[in-house]
A and B are shown apart, each in its own frame.
Chain A
Amino acid sequence: MEVNEVFEKVKSLFIEDLGIDESKISMESKLEEDLEIDSLGIVEVVMAFEDEFDIEIDDEELADVKTVGEAVKLLHSKI
């Protein structure tokens, strides 16, 4: 799967499942500040990623993920 495809999947998941405004979502958007995904929300995001891409994500792998782009990069590396 290309990086761009991963991004499109992440984007639609944020819109459909989490109800985030489409206009806010870019590779640069910060999960907490821009998308208002707080510490509880991150757990939801991980669950959604795991279901969507059929992978497992450890809590430690998420420590450095602050933006949509970083999340996409992590997902791309695991698929």
Chain B
Amino acid sequence: MSKRRVVVTGIGTINPLANNVENSWSNLISGKSGIDNITSFDTTNLPVKFAGEVKDFDANDYMGKQHARKLDRSAHLSIFAAEQALLDAGLDTESRLGDEVGIVLGTGIGGIGATEDAVRIYDTRGPSRINPLAITQLMPNSSTGQVAIRFGIEGPSLTITTACAASANSVGEAKNLIERGVVNTVVAGGTESGTTPMTIGAFAQIRALSTNNESPKEACRPFDKNRDGFVMAEGSTILVLENEETAKKRGAKIYGYVDGYGSTTDAYHITAPSEGGEGAVRAMKKALEDAGVNKEEINYINAHGTSTPINDKNETMAIKSVFGEIAKSTTISSTKSMTGHLLGGAGAFEAMVSLLVMQNNKVPPTINLTTADDECDLNYTPNVSIDLEVNKVMSNSFGFGGHNGVLVFSKN
């Protein structure tokens, strides 16, 4: 029996580039950067003073102060993106979706802002003044629960915490749930809001972040010789995944197919990728195999491309191992050059990009790629978007912990 195919029928997003799909796409195609100086807190003591923050979003206006103040910002963003996605899919956001719908959300660090706030209060005012909502805000599954409550999603639920691969894994595991026939519809994606003082400070301590405070918009430069680390960003992207038949029966708009998913673990080092991206290679091969797609059919690779020296070098090696002699002619780009690193929200955002690339036959660029690096010698679509007929896309996501999640999307 052939596998049930999985389609995407709705997308919602809020990220440093824009607060909806349409404007995110136009900014991606025009090569805009969503990165800027941090405005939400005082950065005086921090070595890194910029990030990709969500702009023009007030949770109090969106859901009312009484409700908003009970949730961490990562949950605000996920509810906002989920509502957009469900409306886009033509599903009813005002009645309960019920137990035929599942939810799989990814996050790297959950309600880390709430954690920081609670510790600050504990230190200054003692345990009796800790916010009683702290636990429900900081637990990593908070967004999954809050989105489920808001839209009455009563089917299976999972929260995936594989760091920067989390929401690629979410989309992949959601695909598995539908393929196995557990449910016909899954709300899948990721959320992150770690642009907070301690978290920026801690990532800076492991020398993972760019320190280019002079030019924030040029700080994220994947595959460029002068890259010096990733840029923290916040946001949420949510997709509605459906069984192809269910979607077609109800006449839903179809963005494309989630055909392949490869999930592997390096089992090597907690932050560094294994030599030559060995774990990534296995994930990419498994995703192709799962999709039943030959490497020659992939027209575009949305790279993990974080702008750290080690990731971009190893990902390049991994792509070469998988694609061999056609690696150099395959079109690649890293949209993190514009968004920064959405951590647990990255895989879902880049799944959205993959689908929009196929829909529009345009590939967004890797911006700030101005100085060639001998170790990164593939076609990364430098600085300017291109027109390209794209029928199949591979999207790479790799996370601290050695987690690799690779997705393959098809137009038809």
The B interface, classified by DSSP as helix, strand, loop or mixed, is helix
Q: B66 near A40 (CB under 8 angstroms)?
A: no
Cross-chain contact of B132 among A19, A20, A44 (Cβ < 8 A): A44
Q: A44 near B65 (CB under 8 angstroms)?
A: no
Cross-chain contact of A40 among B60, B67, B128, B133 (Cβ < 8 A): B133
Kindly state the interface size class of chain A when it binds its partner. 10 to 19
Q: A19 near B131 (CB under 8 angstroms)?
A: no
Q: A19 near B66 (CB under 8 angstroms)?
A: yes
Question: Mask for B94-131, Cβ within 8 A of A = 1, else 0?
Answer: 00000000000000000000000000000000001101
Q: A residues within 8 A CB of B68? A: 19
Contact of A3 with B by CB under 8 A: no
Q: A40 near B136 (CB under 8 angstroms)?
A: yes
Contact of A18 with B by CB under 8 A: yes
How many residue pairs bridge A and B at CB < 8 Å? Answer: 25
B143 smallest CB distance to A (angstroms): 17
Q: B residues within 8 A CB of A41? A: 70
**Nearest A-chain residue to B67, judged by Cβ:** A19
Q: B129 near A19 (CB under 8 angstroms)?
A: no
Q: A residues within 8 A CB of B131? A: 44
A37 to B155, CA, bound (A): 27
A78 smallest CB distance to B (angstroms): 17
Q: A residues within 8 A CB of B60? A: 19
A19 to B67, CA, bound (A): 8
Q: B66 near A20 (CB under 8 angstroms)?
A: yes
A44 to B60, CA, bound (A): 18
A25 smallest CB distance to B (angstroms): 12
**Nearest B-chain residue to A24, judged by Cβ:** B66
A41 to B70, CA, bound (A): 9
B321 smallest CB distance to A (angstroms): 51
Contact of B64 with A by CB under 8 A: yes
Q: B residues within 8 A CB of A43? A: 132
Contact of A64 with B by CB under 8 A: no
Contact of B69 with A by CB under 8 A: yes
B182 smallest CB distance to A (angstroms): 32
Contact of A59 with B by CB under 8 A: no
**Nearest B-chain residue to A37, judged by Cβ:** B66
**Nearest B-chain residue to A56, judged by Cβ:** B128
**Nearest B-chain residue to A45, judged by Cβ:** B132
**Nearest B-chain residue to A21, judged by Cβ:** B66
Question: Mask for A46-67, Cβ within 8 A of B = 1, else 0?
Answer: 0100000000000000000000
Q: B133 near A19 (CB under 8 angstroms)?
A: no
Q: A19 near B69 (CB under 8 angstroms)?
A: yes
B48-97 with Cβ < 8 A to chain A: 60, 64-70
Please list 17 pairs of residues, one from A and one from B, whose beta carbons are closer than 8 Å in the complex, sorted by A's number: A18-B65, A18-B69, A19-B60, A19-B65, A19-B67, A19-B68, A19-B69, A20-B66, A21-B66, A36-B66, A40-B70, A40-B133, A40-B136, A43-B132, A44-B131, A44-B132, A47-B128
For the complex of A and B, the 8 pairs showing the least CB-CB separation, nearest first, are: A19-B65, A43-B132, A19-B66, A40-B132, A44-B132, A20-B66, A40-B133, A19-B69
